[in-house]
Amino acid sequence: MSRLVVVSNRLADPRRPAAGGLAVALGETLNRTGGLWFGWSGTVDPGGTPGEGALQVRQAGAVTLATVDLCREDHASYYLGYSNSVLWPVFHYRLDLADFHTADIDGYRRVNRLFARRLRPLLRDDDVLWVHDYHLIPLAAELRALGCRQRIGFFLHIPVPPPPLLAAIPQHEWLMRAFLAYDLLGLQSETDVGHFTQWLGTEAGAKRLDAQHLRAFGATVRVGAFPIGIDVDEFERLGHAAEAMDTFHALRDEYSRRRLLLGIDRLDYSKGIPQRVRAFRELLQRYPENRHSATLVMIASPSRDSVHAYADLRHELEGLCGAINGDYGDLDWMPLRYIHRTVSRRRVPGLCRASAVGLVTPLRDGMNLVAKEYVAAQDPEDPGVLVLSRFAGAAEQLHEALLVNPYDVQGMAATIQAALHMPLAERQRRHRQLMARIRAQDVHWWRRGFLDALDQCEPASASTSAS
């Protein structure tokens, strides 16, 4: 059997529970299959030289972890710059937040080239490579330029916007060529596949060879939707362990006469957090019976603080949360608890289970694993209700959630009110149906689907260089 080589910007110790969708999914995948995990160490070396960084290799159970440090300049241009100030906002439909700083593209290319140079000597001829996410789009092209002929697949965890938005990226043709250097391109949803196919069709005259294959720039790529799932069994195990149970009981005791609503996210403008707070305010305003009885708990983990848009979001949110508590709070009740922290993953199932409503309301999201975790954590006899943005990739699968438009604050408030009053039989029916799909389409189904499809690709079908 071929060895699996996973490449992602960040690594996590696959033996420990991690926060962050990608780290959770990849840790679980590699723990099962063993193999090599390659990426940035997470360390910024203040004295380092651009385009250089020593390789460190260590073993974590069945998984070999190989990492490279980045110097300050590379971190600023590759990670904070091109990845998170150009690709992340544009791929989340936010041209208004994109900062097309010309120097950043050089750092992005340089780090991808560095990764290719460090990874190349570690590879065996029959390895299968699985590259993850927007930080590493040109990696396959760089590896091909160094003579790699292995099968290389790419999974994009974030959405693909409509072609006119992609075309605003000054280097968008270069990005298209880079995508074409992969054998397989996995996206989260059929909407994303549609946008990607249109982009290549309109901008590069790509030909569709059959339902799955596109040809452009002299290369062929297989493109498909592979919606990512969670490890349901593992999550249920966590849910029955002491930390989750303690969290659940503590919240139930503290809020015995109240209903909890829950939001858990990275503090990111794509997650629709201010819109959620406004909808909650509207709920208290329009349906006053919720005053003194409903509490919104929002746990937002710190993320990319040094990118301006994230600092702005933090300030906006602090203002909104303070205002709602000031305007509606009382001596014995605060409507909103906002916690700017990452909570232990072991407590997440307890938090979800204690909440009558799970609010997952991104403006755009590739998938959103919190939606699936919320459902998986519920007591099937008395389940809570998932309120889910129609703009999350998860909405293509989770039809029995209450779908909302996060831009429509009044509509969201009305849906939250309906969720709080949903009869038990309907909650149980929706939960059963959601759970069946989340279980059938779990993280292992996702991994098998992607790797089987990659296995079927002809090796090294692409010979395109991104440079």
Cα distance between residue 192 and residue 106, in whole Å: 27
Give the per-residue contact string, 410-429, with ligand ADQ (x = CB under 6 A; - = no): --------------------
Single-letter residue type at 340: H
Least Å distance, CB 33 to ligand ADQ, is 18
Tell me which of 152, 184, 369, 419 binds ligand ADQ, using CB under 6 A: 369
Query: Whose Cβ is closer to ligand ADQ: residue 184's or residue 300's?
Result: 300
**Pairing between strand 128-132 and 4-10?**
parallel
Q: Is 227 in the site for ligand ADQ (CB under 6 A)?
A: no
Q: Is 275 in the site for ligand ADQ (CB under 6 A)?
A: no
Given 75, 92, 157, 431, the catalytic residue: 157
Please count the residues of this chain forming the interface with ligand ADQ, following the rule CB under 6 A: 26
Cα distance between residue 42 and residue 39, in whole Å: 9
Q: Is 228 in the site for ligand ADQ (CB under 6 A)?
A: yes
What CA–CA distances, in Å, run from 5 to 26, 133, 150, 227? 11, 15, 11, 20
Single-letter residue type at 138: P
Tokens of 264: 């858990």
Tell me which of 28, 142, 231, 373 binds ligand ADQ, using CB under 6 A: 373
Tokens of 314: 């933090």
Query: Whose Cβ is closer to ligand ADQ: residue 178's or residue 300's?
Result: 300
Least Å distance, CB 60 to ligand ADQ, is 20
Residues 177-216 that bind ligand ADQ (CB under 6 A): none
Tell me which of 153, 335, 358, 366 binds ligand ADQ, using CB under 6 A: 366
Cα distance between residue 175 and residue 158, in whole Å: 15
Least Å distance, CB 54 to ligand ADQ, is 28
Q: Is 408 in the active site?
A: no
SS3 letters for 25-70? Answer: HHHHHHHHHCEEEEEEEEEEECCCCCCCCCEEEEEECCEEEEEEEE
Q: Check: CB of residue 281 under 8 Å from CB of residue 324.
A: yes
Query: Whose Cβ is closer to ligand ADQ: residue 19's or residue 80's?
Result: 19
Tell me which of 66, 317, 370, 419 binds ligand ADQ, using CB under 6 A: 370
Q: Is 98 in the site for ligand ADQ (CB under 6 A)?
A: no
Tokens of 366: 């590739």
Tell me which of 25, 181, 219, 357 binds ligand ADQ, using CB under 6 A: 25
Contacts of 305 (CB under 8 A, 6+ apart): 311, 314
What CA–CA distances, in Å, run from 434 to 37, 234, 277, 365, 424? 32, 18, 26, 19, 15
Least Å distance, CB 392 to ligand ADQ, is 7
Cα distance between residue 423 and residue 239, in whole Å: 25
Least Å distance, CB 443 to ligand ADQ, is 10
Single-letter residue type at 273: I
Q: Is 357 in the site for ligand ADQ (CB under 6 A)?
A: no
Contacts of 249 (CB under 8 A, 6+ apart): none
Report the residue number whose CB is nearest to ligand ADQ: 21
Q: Which helix (H) or strand (E) holds 259?
A: strand 259-266
Tell me which of 216, 251, 264, 324 binds ligand ADQ, using CB under 6 A: 264
Strands lying side by side in the sheet with 294-301: 336-339, 294-301, 259-266, 357-360, 385-389, 402-404
Q: Is 365 in the active site?
A: yes
Residues 294-353 that bind ligand ADQ (CB under 6 A): 299-301, 342-343, 345, 348
Q: Is 12 in the site for ligand ADQ (CB under 6 A)?
A: no
Tell me which of 110, 135, 157, 177 binds ligand ADQ, using CB under 6 A: 157
**Distance linking the first and last C-alpha atoms of the chain:** 33
Given 69, 74, 133, 365, the catalytic residue: 365
Query: Whose Cβ is closer to ligand ADQ: residue 198's or residue 301's?
Result: 301
Which residues are the active-site residues?
A: 157, 365
* Residue ranges binding ligand ADQ (CB under 6 A): 19-22, 24-25, 157-158, 228, 264-266, 299-301, 342-343, 345, 348, 365-370, 373
